[in-house]
Amino acid sequence: MTRTGSWLALAAFIVAVDQITKYLVAGSFAPGESVPLTPFFNMVLVHNPGAAFSFLSDQAGWQRGFFIAIALAASVWIVYLLAKHPRERLFALALTLVLAGAVGNVIDRILVGAVVDFLDFHAFGYHWPAFNVADSAITCGAVLLAWDALRPQKKNADPTTEAQRR
């Protein structure tokens, strides 16, 4: 398997984990049902037609196609970047995580009409918006992309030195 193929296989695995967990929760919970598991964590079933933090969730439905189009375009771009930079491990891992999250949430939007969220963390009366495995992958990927962009890069070899080696 090529390096690009390995990254795509990892993305497919993450998408599978995302979809399996959503399927299990959707089969076990009624929409809006919440079950406390710890003093700071609940399992819930929420359908979010919007984006992160329910952005645009109150719209008439046009946002579904909009978010699907954006995620599909981003996925094509990410696959291109993975094919171009498969040996840049941190960058490729970050892209793989974002790709997996985008695809996982697109599947929900196509099949359910909204993203299925089920992880609900809270503390001191404040709830973080419910999220899922795909959202976690996107977030981790974004953090890794930022880390990769900010870390010192190895300088390319001096062109004159490179010419002398030939």
**Higher per-residue pLDDT: 43 or 125:** 43
Confidence band, pLDDT 50/70/90 cuts, at residue 163: very low
> Percentage of the chain surpassing pLDDT 90?
73
C-alpha–C-alpha distance, residues 132 and 118, integer Å: 6
**Higher per-residue pLDDT: 110 or 161:** 110
Q: Summarize pLDDT for 24-76 with one digit per residue, the tens.
A: 999 999 999 999 999 999 999 999 876 765 656 656 666 777 889 999 999 99
Residues taking part in catalysis: 117, 135
Three-state DSSP string of the chain: CCHHHHHHHHHHHHHHHHHHHHHHHHHHCCCCCEEEEECCEEEEEEEECCCHHHCCCCCCCHHHHHHHHHHHHHHHHHHHHHHHCCCCHHHHHHHHHHHHHHHHHHHHHHHCCCEEEEEEEEECCEECCCECHHHHHHHHHHHHHHHHHHCCCCCCCCHHHHHHHC
State residue 67's pLDDT score: 84
As a whole number, mean pLDDT of residues 133-146 equals 97
As a whole number, mean pLDDT of residues 110-128 equals 93
Could you tell me the two tokens for 98?
């974002």
State residue 161's pLDDT score: 44
Q: Summarize pLDDT for 2-12 with one digit per residue, the tens.
A: 899 999 999 99
Residue type, 147: W
State residue 9's pLDDT score: 97
Do 116 and 26 touch, CB atoms closer than 8 A?
Answer: yes
State residue 127's pLDDT score: 86
| pTM of the predicted model as reported, rounded to 2 decimal places | 0.85
C-alpha–C-alpha distance, residues 121 and 38, integer Å: 9
CA atoms within a 13 Å half-sphere pointing along the CA-CB vector of 26: 15
State residue 1's pLDDT score: 74
Q: Is the dihedral of CA 19, 25, 26, 31 positive or negative?
A: negative
Mean of the per-residue pLDDT values of the chain: 88
pLDDT at 162 over 50: no
Domain ranges of the chain: 3-127+135-151
C-alpha–C-alpha distance, residues 31 and 25, integer Å: 10
